[in-house]
Amino acid sequence: MCFYDLLTYEIIPLKTPYVIRNCSKCKRDTEFYCSEKFRVNANQKMVDVWIIYNCIHCEGTWNYPILSRVHVSKINPNLYQKFMNNHNETAWYYAFQIHHLRKLCKDVDTNVCYDLRMERFESKFNDLTIRINCNYDLDLRIDKVLAEILGVSRSNLKKLEIDGRLKLNPNISMKKRIIDHLQVTVVGKG
Ligand SMILES: [Zn+2]
């Protein structure tokens, strides 16, 4: 019996995206990085929470609003503790709300470095199957990542698609952004 490859790739960002804002000290639009530190203000049981961003040039600050005037009883105690402890994953969760951050800032620099962590399994599928997992929205196009995984140019990737040798599940355009649990079948490879 012939076994084919099932490859799983996890996309792991190495840092959070910069946001682009006007810095009052630099007097121009600059990049701000996420400090991964929360600022929590409690005033008469009403709570405000921000994440502190700093200008990469002058360390000037911008406070990214997370909660605004929320009664302490309405905040999940576990989450509140994570704010107080500067819980890293929680900060990353908010730092990758790219769509929301774009509304608050001039732009978000989504050119984030990432690692692709691969695991290989045997499968009984007849073709090479690739599963891509991505916990964060990195604003990455599917064709960019697939070209990197398969080691082909984007034009060769396009040719594979036209020849019907690439099947995406769910069946979405390769120009779309990567979604978690995307499965790609490469027909006639492996
Ligand atoms: Zn600055």
Q: How far is the CA of 137 from the centre of ligand 1 (A)?
A: 27
Residue numbers of the domain that contains 164: 4-14+113-186
Q: Is the pTM of this model over 0.75?
A: yes
Give the end of a domain, one of 77, 109, 141: 109
Give the end of a domain, one of 89, 109, 129: 109
Exposed e or buried b for every residue in 111-134, given b needs 16+ CB within 10 A?
ebebeeeeeeeeeeeebbbbbbeb
Give the end of a domain, one of 70, 91, 109: 109
Q: How far is the CA of 17 from the centre of ligand 1 (A)?
A: 17
CA distance 36 to 16: 9
Residues 55, 129, single domain; the answer is no
Whether 82 shows a pLDDT value over 70: the answer reads yes
Q: Omega of the bond prior to 77 within 30 degrees of 0, cis? A: no
Average pLDDT (108-129) is 86
Average pLDDT (74-78) is 96
Q: How far is the CA of 24 from the centre of ligand 1 (A)?
A: 7
Q: How far is the CA of 113 from the centre of ligand 1 (A)?
A: 23
Q: How far is the CA of 22 from the centre of ligand 1 (A)?
A: 8
Residues 98, 123, single domain; the answer is no
